[in-house]
Amino acid sequence: MPTIDVTLPDGSLRALERGATPADLAALIGPRLAKDAVAARVDGRLVDLRAPLEAPCRVELLTFKDPDAVGILRHSAAHLLAAAVRELYPGAKITIGPAIENGFYYDFDLPRPVTEEDLPAIEERMRLLAARRDAFTRAELPKEEALARFEAQGEGYKAEIIRGLEGPTVSCYTVGGFEDLCRGPHLPDSGRVGAFKLLSVAGAYWRGDERNKMLTRIYGTAFPTQAELEAHLKQVEEAKRRDHRRLGRELDLFSFQEEAGPGLVYWHPKGAMVRKLIEDFWREEHVKAGYGFVVSPHIGRAHLWETSGHLENYRESMYSPMDIDGQDYYLKPMNCPFHILMYRDRPRSYRDLPLRMAELGTVYRYERSGTLHGLMRVRGFTQDDSHIFVSEELLAEEIARVVKFIRHMLTSFGFTEFEVFVSTRPKEGIGEARWWERATDALKGALEAAQWPYGIDEGGGAFYGPKIDFRIKDSIGRTWQCSTLQVDPNLPERFRLEYTARDGTRRRPVMLHRALLGSLERFFGILIEHYAGAFPVWLAPEQVRVLSITDDAGAAAEAVLARLRAAGLRAEADLSPEKIGAKVRLAALEKVPYVLALGRKEAESGQVAVRKRGTNEVETQSVEAFLARIQGEVAAKS
């Protein structure tokens, strides 16, 4: 029998018979790996353990320590969900069921409604299917044969998918008696699915198009062990408690008005105050960092978006044009072309570079109604946008400045844990390899100099240049994509940007796209959930509430309120006849950082009873001492 050489991750070789599988390789290496392996990566491609190896290749055996293996687990759980629904709901039509972050879902066209009360029964049927330990088996079928098979089963959605696929064959997976159109890979058998839980039911349009039929989407999650599942469910419950949409209503921060249209944010006074504080800090720090502020229009002629490439590559996310004087104008989805026009407005020389433009610019992008999600996914939002025009000689130095600035801004808002990735050249990347290598090395070098650990997202860069993505980790361990830094020689080329170099030659600048906070709306939503609505003192819309304990303390309370406001604090007073306990509880519900209470004794002594949010301890001190205390916290951003 002919043999092939298989290269392992450590560079060592194993000789296998042609047609052997990754499972055979695992058994050759040792019984522990044979037991733990669930899938393989062959020359970078994920495959089943039973996939035949026909030529020399590099093989990495995957256990549940690998995130890709956990994704395969969740995809396999989605197939079990579909199998269970088909058994429990005769006539159910299946559509798609992918793994997603922290879970999976499957969309169904069901003969009768399903509610969350039905989930335990579906989950129990999934457990029965898992207990049978049926193998996930793959079959490659001629496209026409697969089409005829699914049409015969009445699976019109699957048939529609097959018609849209390229190539002469398609792959299907069978587990038990359930067959599904699927690329795979999957776990070896249903018994390896592990610990799972169905979470919720929602509606979803077929192919995400509102013109299509509304389907039933069932969400679930799955983990290798019960302990991991329980830890995740605990986090989910905590996330519900912190949900920015609920807290936004309870704390009167913002709203959405369906009468005016979905996906558009209405900032209420308290929420607008927090936004102002974020913006004020943002502007102050940009002045220190040498940026110039710009303000650009909200619309631009079609020609601008044609030159930038947005109409060619981003049209689906742009709104329909408006006719002005016989010409098409578009709401801006991005600020970049406007900043470019300002750069191009006058001749530039090396003395102007780096030229740093910053704008809190509101942009508009079409999002399908089913994808809108509170502040996290809206149709109109404000980017903390900046574009830096720099010579190639100064590129590495400027990237290092931006990386340092990003860390400063994110830590100032209370984030201390990060995941950072450098995205490298994709297959469709344009430009010289030398330039890509230099730009990527500059990104890596800046992170290394900042002692910021990073991973590599191979091929994840934009077609025009590499980038760094910064993800922040919140107080309950979730990660959020936030800051980004992209290197772009493409738009300067499209718009024919130039500057005069020291030697008098005309050269193209390099453009850096840079966002520190991203969308202000989304960042505000992240802050709400990170702090569970209890903002630090410097960001709190109301920092202090002054309470009267007795009616005759009202005048003294008003005098304290005036002193606090004169010192620049955001303070309010509750002089109502309610009992002091009720006033304190209300302030706690509204998450006010400090409560100052005054009764007859405090009014006579000129002191206040201070209670800090989250504690039951009361400390009596002078107003001057309290002012020094809270102003210190504001200055320290604590």
Give one DSSP letter per residue of 18-66, joined into a string: TT--HHHHHHHH-HHHHHH--EEEETTEEE-TT----S-EEEEEE-TTS
pLDDT confidence of residue 433: 83
Mean of the pLDDT values across residues 482-494?
91
Mean of the pLDDT values across residues 451-468?
89
Q: Is 336 a catalytic residue?
A: yes
Catalytic choice (467, 478, 545, 611):
467
Mean per-residue pLDDT over the chain, rounded: 94
pLDDT confidence of residue 313: 81
Spatial CB neighbours of 355, under 8 Å, sequence gap ≥ 6: 292, 343, 348, 388, 389, 390, 509
Measured at the alpha carbon of residue 287, what is the angle toward residues 284 and 293, in degrees to the nearest 5?
A: 105
Q: How confident is the model at residue 1 (pLDDT cuts 50, 70, 90)?
A: low
Dig out the tokens for 142 from the structure.
């001629």
pLDDT confidence of residue 88: 96
* CB-based contact 120:181 (threshold 8 Å): no
pLDDT confidence of residue 630: 97
Q: How confident is the model at residue 238 (pLDDT cuts 50, 70, 90)?
A: very high
Q: In sequence order, what are the beta bridge partners of 215?
A: 204
Report strand pairing: 594-598 vs 544-548: parallel
pLDDT confidence of residue 638: 76
Structural fold of domain 3-63:
Ubiquitin-like (UB roll) (3.10.20)
**Per-position b or e across 625-638, b if 16+ CB within 10 A of its CB:** ebbebbeebbeeee
Mean of the pLDDT values across residues 17-33?
93
Q: Is 365 a catalytic residue?
A: yes
* CB-based contact 83:194 (threshold 8 Å): no
Q: Is 65 a catalytic residue?
A: no
Catalytic choice (125, 356, 365, 425):
365
Q: Is 36 a catalytic residue?
A: no
Q: Is 268 a catalytic residue?
A: no
| CATH architecture, domain 68-242 | 2-Layer Sandwich (3.30)
Domain spans in the chain, listed from the N-terminal domain onward:
3-63, 68-242, 287-296+335-531, 544-636
pLDDT confidence of residue 579: 94
Dig out the tokens for 183 from the structure.
């690329």
Place of tokens 């030398």: 434
Catalytic choice (158, 336, 591, 611):
336
* Residue pLDDT, tens place only, 396-434: 999 999 999 999 999 999 999 999 999 999 887 777 888
Catalytic choice (332, 513, 591, 611):
513
Q: Is 339 a catalytic residue?
A: no
Catalytic choice (172, 197, 383, 583):
383
Given a cut of 80, whether residue 370 has pLDDT beyond it is no
pLDDT confidence of residue 63: 96
Q: Report the percentage of the chain scoring pLDDT > 90.
A: 86
Cα separations in angstroms, 169 against 141, 166, 414: 5, 8, 52
- Domain 544-636 -> CATH class: alpha beta
Angle between helices 433-449 and 395-412 (to 10 degrees): 40
pLDDT confidence of residue 465: 87
Q: Which amino acid is located at 179 in the chain?
A: E
Q: What is the CATH number of domain 287-296+335-531?
A: 3.30.930.10
**Per-position b or e across 421-435, b if 16+ CB within 10 A of its CB:** bbbbbbeebeeeeeb
Given a cut of 90, whether residue 21 has pLDDT beyond it is yes
Q: Is 356 a catalytic residue?
A: no
Mean of the pLDDT values across residues 185-210?
92
